[in-house]
Amino acid sequence: MNLNVQQAGGSLLVVSQFTLAADTERGMRPSFSGGAAPQQAEALYEYFVERCKQQGIDAPTGRFAADMQVSLINDGPVTFWLQFRWEMLRKPLHQPKGSERDAWDAMAHHQMVVDEEGNTVAVGRLYINADNEAAIRFMAVHPSVQDKGLGTLVAMALESVARQEGVKRVTCSAREDAVPFFAKLGFVNQGEITTPQTTPVRHFLMIKPVATLDDILHRGDWCGQLQQAWYEHIPLSEKMGVRIQQYTGQKFITTMPETGNQNPHHTLFAGSLFSLATLTGWGLIWLMLRERHLGGTIILADAHIRYSKPITGKPGATADLGSLSGDLDRLARGRKARVALEVELYGNETLGAVFEGVYLVLPAKPFGPLEEGGNEEE
């Protein structure tokens, strides 16, 4: 997973995901994991640019240079990120060289950010144990680039790997000063760790469940297809971290991370909320078409949103069939349909806004894939 971001000062940042072969101990170089897809890099790039804008960082342009990046990572010695680990995490505590690594490095997933000169500026690691539980460790960001979203970017990338691997929860042994950071990412503080640690710093156990579609009450298979279709055809949805939380056949509920979707006032960004509401309404209509064995191209024709208060906390959006009006039977006759519905927007389960949208559903393309507006069941 590689991307360049043009940031203030003209430096180029490269985010890379790699795994280490078992013979890393003999000095082998890291190689990229097979799961690093170009569209993921594109989504991360767009996300990072948006984060830069929110933080007041000048990041209007960016470019990919995959060949250079792969060469940069593969041609460098493994020690370049281990040295960074030691300097950021162990040297300030007067820990010896070697304390920055453990036996699980060779089997773990690693994320790092390097600048245009190949210097590591952020790292993180994810290890998955035999119980299908993942642990984030060795998270560090260079002081010169802190508070610019790099830590969040690395953590989100590691969580994405955990989700792809089918992990049920992610844990972290967080230093005391890092507890607020992980709490913003949705980790819950379980209390101080009292067992002996490798450093004299107080650590706290943080746990975050990894949401899967297994908990969806009705048609989890359709929800999986819908979420995949969003990510493939509406890249903004993946960049924002939009995720289907529940579908009962009557209600459709979505969510997204608070981190990365906030404005400078630490409330939820209006553009993110509008996009979440639009996708939620779109998704309920798509599912309703599936329920009726229909297909069609769904287009937002008109919408407005009413805010009753600034929205803070964990975002959520709910669309209910009870608010929907329209005649989808027109589609079966080969005519377009007009559908109106409401989507309620929440922060920490407190209602903050109501979205009203009008969608047009164009007749299905014969024998085309349902997720692309077709009617494969004809």
Which is the catalytic residue, given 18, 252, 269, 274?
18
Q: Note if 250 is an active site residue.
A: no
- Residue 18 is a catalytic residue: yes
Among the listed residues 6, 7, 19, 259, the single catalytic one is 19
> Which residue is catalytic, options 7, 17, 152, 254?
17
Q: Over the chain, what HEC string results? A: CCCEEECHHHCEEEEEEEECCHHHHHCCCCEECCCCCHHHHHHHHHHHHHHHHHCCCCCCCCCCCHHHHHHHHHCCCCHHHHHHHHHHHHHHHCCCCCCCCCCCHHHCEEEEEECCCCCEEEEEEEEECCCCEEEEEEEEECHHHCCCCHHHHHHHHHHHHHHHCCCCEEEEEEEHHHHHHHHHCCCEEEEECCCCCCCCCCEEEEEEECCCHHHCCCCHHHHHHHHHHHHHHCHHHHHHCCEEEEECCCEEEEECCCCCCECCCCCECHHHHHHHHHHHHHHHHHHHHHHCCCCEEEEEEEEEEEECCCCCCCEEEEEEHHHCEECCHHHHCCCCEEEEEEEEEEECCEEEEEEEEEEEEEECEECCCHHHCEECCC
Q: Active-site residues: which are they? A: 17-19
